[in-house]
């Protein structure tokens, strides 16, 4: 197709597979770290708020490629010779957790204050108040922006190209170097990204509309 062999296409598809793997790693890791970040950001304790806010500011103030490099070189000077996937996964976790933490903090705070008060008046413990009353409402609000952020995660895995992780972008770059067909190669790569991202964008918008109507 357009001067590319089936092997070439397969090569790109394999890259796309790794892009999905890294995206999932970033999302799972981002959720595991991001949830506590969100809780700390909306906590009553000042120290927790300050520390979590500093973490978010730090991660959001450094370009993701630089975070990739720092993790990559940091692991290697620590004496770990790990595959690039690990470094990229850790960097994506840091990146996603900061943004998801901010998004979810907003969702927790979007639940009306009166809900906390009502739960308190029912003699629920603080944990029960959060888990049984606030969280279910916050999750509903959180779904559209979270799905929307998945698009950012998928796109930003492309930055792992800087540390040589064999994702879709890196595969496309390598393939272009050997075939010199940049328009074909990068258009196909773009289409593959689009095929992953666009349904998520549409889904996010649909959830948002549904939430607005409710």
Q: Are 37 and 48 in contact (CB under 8 A)?
A: no
Q: How far is the CB of 214 from another protein (least distance, A)?
A: 20
Q: Is 41 exposed, middle or buried (0-12, 13-18, 19+ CB in 10 A)?
A: buried
Of 97 and 169, the one with the shorter C-beta distance to another protein is 169
Q: How far is the CB of 35 from another protein (least distance, A)?
A: 23
Tokens, residue 152 = 């950012």
Of 134 and 157, the one with the shorter C-beta distance to another protein is 157
Torsion of CA 33, 38, 44, 48, to 10 degrees: 40
Residues engaged in binding another protein (CB under 8 A): 58, 60-67, 69-70, 72-74, 76-79, 151, 155-156, 158-159, 161-162, 169, 172-173, 176, 180-183, 186-187, 189-190, 193-194, 197-198, 201
- Residues 166-180 as b/e (b if ≥16 CB within 10 A, e otherwise) read bbbbbbbbbbbeeee
Q: How far is the CB of 207 from another protein (least distance, A)?
A: 17
Of 61 and 127, the one with the shorter C-beta distance to another protein is 61
Torsion of CA 29, 30, 33, 37, to 10 degrees: 180
Dihedral sign, CA of 100, 188, 16, 80? negative
Return the residue matching tokens 């943004």. Answer: 99
Q: How far is the CB of 144 from another protein (least distance, A)?
A: 14
Of 128 and 187, the one with the shorter C-beta distance to another protein is 187
Of 68 and 119, the one with the shorter C-beta distance to another protein is 68
Cα separation, 125 vs 119, in Å, equals: 9
Q: How far is the CB of 74 from another protein (least distance, A)?
A: 6
Of 111 and 168, the one with the shorter C-beta distance to another protein is 168
Per-residue DSSP letter, 130: I
Q: How far is the CB of 21 from another protein (least distance, A)?
A: 16
């Amino acid at each position: 197709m357009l001067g590319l062999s089936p092997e070439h296409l397969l090569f790109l598809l394999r890259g796309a597979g790794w892009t999905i793997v890294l995206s999932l790693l970033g999302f799972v890791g981002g959720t595991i770290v991001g949830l506590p970040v969100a809780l700390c950001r909306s906590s009553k304790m000042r120290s927790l708020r300050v520390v979590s806010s500093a973490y978010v500011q730090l991660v959001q103030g450094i370009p993701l490629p630089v975070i990739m490099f720092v993790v990559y070189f940091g692991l290697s000077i620590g004496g770990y010779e790990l595959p690039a996937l690990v470094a990229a996964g850790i960097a994506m976790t840091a990146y996603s957790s900061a943004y998801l933490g901010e998004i979810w903090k907003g969702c927790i705070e979007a639940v009306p204050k009166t809900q906390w008060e009502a739960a308190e008046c029912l003699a629920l413990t603080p944990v029960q108040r959060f888990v049984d009353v606030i969280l279910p409402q916050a999750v509903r609000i959180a779904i559209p922006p979270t799905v929307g952020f998945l698009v950012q995660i998928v796109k930003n895995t492309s930055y792992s190209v800087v540390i040589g992780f064999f994702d879709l972008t890196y595969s496309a770059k390598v393939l272009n170097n050997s075939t010199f067909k940049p328009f074909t190669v990068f258009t196909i790569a773009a289409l593959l990204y689009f095929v992953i991202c666009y349904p998520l964008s549409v889904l996010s918008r649909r959830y948002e509309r549904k939430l607005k109507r409710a």
